[in-house]
Amino acid sequence: MQYEIARNSGKPVFQWRSPYLDIAIIQDQEHQLLVSGDKVRAEGIEEFKRAVKDFILKPPQVKPLPVKKPANLNALIFVNMTSSDRPLAEKVCDELKRQGVGYSRPLASGDPSDTRSDLEVNPLECDGLIVIYGSSTTLWVRRQLLECRKMLSKREKPIPAFAIFEGPPEEKSSIACMFPNLQLLDLKKGIDDFHLNKEISAFIDGLEKENA
């Protein structure tokens, strides 16, 4: 009866029997069918327990969302980050590129005055802005938001999309700073293709609406 309930539930079924059991000597037909079904594993109990554990702990397969390339969208996104968050920023930029959107990152080296000038020009010229908050300090993120806000006030038109991208680690201080229309792209628990695609798609939606 338990087997019937489990099978009818539609969930995976694991059955175990000793590999030394001689099913040929079992006279009860129902019992014989029960211990010889396609779900029965004739193996040592430790092997069986390990197979069940591996199945439970196996991460679910996550398929990335189909790419929805923005129609006639010639956009440039400035991805601002500190050097410690460069690997995270590169993942974001790769996803922007995959969805047909251009990107710009801060200069990695050069004269300090050139680097500063570049940081001032990008918020004025870009179509969208993402500030990466991964392993960088809360103070750095706050300062960047305030600096960007100051630069954005000089634009002729409001920026269509402005976001904080929160990546790992999960435990971090709140920036305690929020502006109108500032989006929060939350991937603190970890980066995978599906959720990265989802968050960047939501960000790009703001650009598409502005250009509609």
Q: What is the pLDDT of residue 51?
A: 86
Please provide the DSSP assignment of 13-63 as one string: --EEE-TT--GGG---HHHHHHTSSTTEEES-HHHHHHHHHHHHHSPPP-P
CA dihedral sign, ordered 201, 203, 208, 209: positive
Single-letter residue type at 22: D
Stronger pLDDT, 192 or 69, i.e. the higher one: 192
User: Over the stretch 165-185, which tens digit does the pLDDT of each residue have?
Assistant: 999 999 999 998 888 889 999
Going by C-beta distance under 8 Å and a sequence separation of 6 or more, which residues neighbour residue 107?
Answer: 114, 115, 118
User: Over the stretch 53-109, which tens digit does the pLDDT of each residue have?
Assistant: 888 888 776 665 565 555 457 889 999 999 999 999 999 999 999 988 999 999 887
Query: Which CATH number does 76-211 carry?
Result: 3.40.50.360
Q: What is the pLDDT of residue 71?
A: 46
Q: What is the pLDDT of residue 104?
A: 95
Mean pLDDT, residues 142-163 taken together: 89
Q: What residue segments make up the domains of the chain, in order of their start?
A: 2-57, 76-211
Judged against a pLDDT cut of 70, whether residue 6 lies above it is answered with: no
User: What is d(CA 166, CA 172) in angstroms, rounded to the nearest whole number?
Assistant: 10
Closest by CA to 169, choosing from 146, 148, 194, 138, is 138
